[in-house]
Structure 1
Amino acid sequence: MFDRNYRQRLEADLAQWEADGVIAPAAAASIRNVLPPLSSGINIAVVVAIVGGLLIAAAFLAFVAAHWTELARLLRFAILIAGMIVAGGLGAWFAHTQRPVLADLCAGIGAIIFGAGIALVGQMYHLGGDFAGGMLLWSIGALAAAPLTGSRGALAVGLAAACIWSCMRVYDTPDALHLPFAVVWLVAAGLALAWNSRVAAHLVALAVLPWWIVAALGFGFDNPQPSFVLADGAALLFGGGLAIAAVPSQRALRFGGVLSAYGAFSLAVVAVLEVTTVDDIFRIEPGSATAQPLWAIMCGIAGAILAFASAGITKRMGEAFAGCAIALVLVAAPLWWASRAGEPWLAYAALLCAMLGLVVSGMLDAVRPRIVAGWLGIAGVIAGITWVVKGSLLRRSAFLAAAGVIAVAFATVLDRALSRTDE
């Protein structure tokens, strides 16, 4: 809540209210006094120091790589250990001198050196070729360093290594869902909640995306339709984020808000993918039913239920519209299958209504990411309908015109409802 942008807006509002006579100067001074001090941001000196540190690290690695074959094995191992010790020592010194950004950078570099050590030791001693196991070991080490140092950089390294590990396991066994990644992700999510860090929340939200994409593309079930599976993942991420944000806790509000923002954008991207890839790149054949595995369908339904549950807890109409948007995107999958003999106009209508509901949801709750995601989704879906639909242009124009009339009628009804609420 007390971030730099908020404080700037608050300071401008206090000055304006004081000038207009809304509050007394003493009241404005009291408000300023109770606010906590702002943490030092990243200034020019810190940026230059980061670039310099990265250049020195790159020069060190290049020098070692150039003379690697000339060095004895024991010396190579000592260099790796020394690199981690130096990175940790510098990080501790920066933390002691109140330079958290540089301390975080050192911890992240130490985690990277740890991963390089795993690879190079395996190469030196001709260990087994289980690269996925090495990535898991790297991820465990980085994630262990993250809570010890409070480093977001180490958390990022650990999550990146975990994503690579999971992708490699899915490649090895494409017909099985790689659930162990969920354990690593939950540990990282717990750290993000404990730290109450927006940066950590962004890292956790980003980490789940490649895992779900690989799961959607890697399954070998009959007649796969990845966009439907991706829709289930977006629904769970969006609805789960809304449900977490509904918990009466500042930590949960921040973490859930970030997750729901990524879920909203994912839902918009999936809506566009459904329009542009179904029956074009990936086709639904007769007998394929919903073209989704049961676990994915259950995840999508759980996301919709969580969104509506959040609306019931918070009493916000915007979250109810978000739940409707999720449900409509999920409903598009069976509508597509039912319309495989002709153009799936009902599916197109469901996706357009879903993106419109996303915009309305963001406006009612004053959440900008939902608004932006909804508008991008509307633009993408309309563009997809215009260019992908086969057959007469007259049908396309008639469909879009009918959708526009319905949207205007919905706007009129919504405006009257909001006016009555204001009264």
Structure 2
Amino acid sequence: MVATLEILDTVAGCEQWIAPAIDSYPQGGDMRLIRLLKHDLAREAGVWVEVGVISEAQAEQICERYGVDYHRAQQRSWGYNVLVGLAYLFIALAVITLISANWDEIPRALRMGGLVVLTVATQCIGLWVYLKRNPRTGEGLFLLGNFFFGASIILISQIYHLGEHMPDGVFWWALGCLPFALITRSPWIALQANALALVWFYLQVSMGYYPMWFPLFILTSLFVLMRGRGSISLLLVFLVSIGFWIEYSLSEFWRVQAQGFKLDLHPENLAVAIFLFALLYSFGHWLALKKTTIAQDYAAVISVWCLRFALITLLLFSFASPWESLINAGWDHLWSMWLVVAAVGTATLALAVPTRRLISTGILLALTTIALVLVSIGGNKDLAVYLQVATNLVLIGSGIWLIYRGIYDGVSHYFFLGVMAILLTALLRYIDLIGDYLGSALIFILFAGLLLGAAKYWKFHQGREGVR
């Protein structure tokens, strides 16, 4: 605590250079990860103002750069919002429980009318509150009304024994949420609709039906993401929904061609998924070029999650067995797969041009394409070992690159992710090579050398920064 106060006292005497530093600090990739914690940064800025580190005007300037209202952030309470949301949920559960407990004693007409009145009344009150008093409270009432709407669908179906196709109830529930999501542009209501749509998607697919209307919910989420408040949760659900829909559509197309079973997974799905993540990664960098704060926030999230997906994929394929499974798999839809991969790859390269990442993106796509050709056309089981070695080399190279980026750009997330990649590679190779003590020892020596080299470069880089 004493050390912290000493640091604050030291910084407090340097106000004259804080504001110019803020103005000149880059808005690019070096600071994108801070955007994920921008509300915490805004609240911390309030502490700095209280202890005299910076002035209130400078705190407002810092928050404005990341699209946060400084004064609202001081009153903002994530815990309060969570408690209110849970309270609305438990109100809905309590009402549903009371109705269910006395269901048999209530006349049928009263049941029907009561459910309709409860749903309509809640939505009307929510609309009045949204337009006249408090939009956020109105959104909460809309969420509550949507829960009542879903319960009404379920209970009315029981009254009139409407259960021929069970996913239809979930579909109409999700569809009933869409108008309120479009009117309010609320990410929470859009998230509710999209989550219900995903449940309907799974039920529909598991029963052998194609979810024809699923893109409607994807487009609604896209509209809210573009025109409403920023929401990381809605962004992630939106991206997952797109991935599921594309992959299942391809699976259905290949199933019809081969006259196979529903929900068949093909090795071609994995190839398309990898190229889709490459496209998403390029899209994230392209989005970071936009001037809006929301676009840059979304770019940061996309970049981080694509990077994590890439490392997890490399760790899985650092063993020989996944490569052997792909080599032995039946690649029955190569022509259509290559057409999709070519289209996605072309879009990825097109997005890489304005971000000045054409060479690195081209190398990544070329290596992935070579690996796909070897496993889908080669058919040689001995290739699995060579591909495993190549994957481990790429994994080590990625760890070194992340450590370098973390040190050079000052992004701790990259640094620790790179160190974690190297340590996990060492651990997995030790498990894989148990009994071969000489090989394990050589691997440990190699990784120790890499980490020592990274530490020496860190010291050298800090020395150069000190000279500057």
TM-score after normalising by structure 1: 0.72
What secondary structure is seen at the aligned counterpart in 2 of 1:193? helix
**Take 1:229 and 1:369, find their aligned partners in 2: how far apart are those partners?**
28
1:203 paired residue among 231, 234, 238: 234
1:385 paired residue among 429, 438, 450: 429
Give the aligned partner of residue 315 of structure 1.
none
Instruction: Give, in angstroms, the shift of residue 194 of structure 1.
Output: 0.8
Give the aligned partner of residue 42 of structure 1.
77
Larger Rg: 2
- Number of residue pairs matched by the alignment: 408
**Take 1:238 and 1:54, find their aligned partners in 2: how far apart are those partners?**
36
Give the aligned partner of residue 285 of structure 2.
242
For residue 4 of structure 1, what is the amino acid of its counterpart?
H
What secondary structure is seen at the aligned counterpart in 1 of 2:76? coil
Instruction: Give, in angstroms, the shift of residue 409 of structure 1.
Output: 6.8
Which residues of structure 1 form unaligned runs of 5+?
Answer: 313-318
1:194 paired residue among 227, 233, 258: 227
1:88 paired residue among 123, 145, 149: 123
Q: Does 1:155 align with 2:198?
A: no
**Take 2:316 and 2:59, find their aligned partners in 1: how far apart are those partners?**
53
What secondary structure is seen at the aligned counterpart in 1 of 2:144? helix
For residue 295 of structure 2, what is the amino acid of its counterpart?
A
Instruction: Give, in angstroms, the shift of residue 160 of structure 1.
Output: 0.7
Q: Does 1:114 align with 2:149?
A: yes
**Take 2:369 and 2:464, find their aligned partners in 1: how far apart are those partners?**
31
What CA deviation, in whole Å up to 9, does each residue of 1:14-68 have, x standing for no partner?
678x76xxx9x79759969997631542377666554444333222111111222
Give the aligned partner of residue 316 of structure 1.
none
**Take 2:392 and 2:59, find their aligned partners in 1: how far apart are those partners?**
55
What secondary structure is seen at the aligned counterpart in 2 of 1:248? coil
Q: Does 1:212 align with 2:243?
A: yes
2:49–2:56: 8 Å Cα contact kept in structure 1? Answer: no
What CA deviation, in whole Å up to 9, does each residue of 1:196-224 have, x standing for no partner?
41x2x422313433663687699467863
Change (3 A) 1:189 1:411: farther
Instruction: Give, in angstroms, the shift of residue 397 of structure 1.
Output: 4.8
2:126–2:141: 8 Å Cα contact kept in structure 1? Answer: yes
Change (3 A) 1:122 1:106: same
1:90–1:106: 8 Å Cα contact kept in structure 2? Answer: yes
Higher relative contact order (CA 8 A, sep 6+): 2
For residue 396 of structure 2, what is the amino acid of its counterpart?
L
What secondary structure is seen at the aligned counterpart in 1 of 2:311? helix
**Take 1:137 and 1:301, find their aligned partners in 2: how far apart are those partners?**
37
Change (3 A) 1:352 1:336: farther
What secondary structure is seen at the aligned counterpart in 1 of 2:104? helix
What secondary structure is seen at the aligned counterpart in 2 of 1:186? helix
Q: How does 1:22-421 map to 2 (within 5 A)?
A: 37-38=71-72, 40-42=75-77, 49-92=84-127, 95=130, 101-127=136-162, 129-172=164-207, 181-197=214-230, 199=231, 201-209=232-240, 212=243, 219=251, 224=267, 228-275=271-318, 278-279=321-322, 282-285=325-328, 288=331, 293-294=337-338, 297-298=341-342, 301=345, 304-305=348-349, 308-309=352-353, 311-312=355-356, 323=361, 327=365, 330=368, 333-334=371-372, 337=375, 340-341=381-382, 342-343=384-385, 344-358=388-402, 360-361=404-405, 374-388=418-432, 392=436, 394-395=438-439, 397-398=441-442, 401-402=445-446
Instruction: Give, in angstroms, the shift of residue 111 of structure 1.
Output: 1.9
**Take 1:41 and 1:325, find their aligned partners in 2: how far apart are those partners?**
45
**Take 1:30 and 1:214, find their aligned partners in 2: how far apart are those partners?**
42
**Take 1:29 and 1:308, find their aligned partners in 2: how far apart are those partners?**
35
What secondary structure is seen at the aligned counterpart in 1 of 2:278? helix
Structural RMSD (CA):
4.9
For residue 271 of structure 1, what is the amino acid of its counterpart?
L
Change (3 A) 1:330 1:251: same
For residue 190 of structure 1, what is the amino acid of its counterpart?
F
**Take 1:236 and 1:180, find their aligned partners in 2: how far apart are those partners?**
25
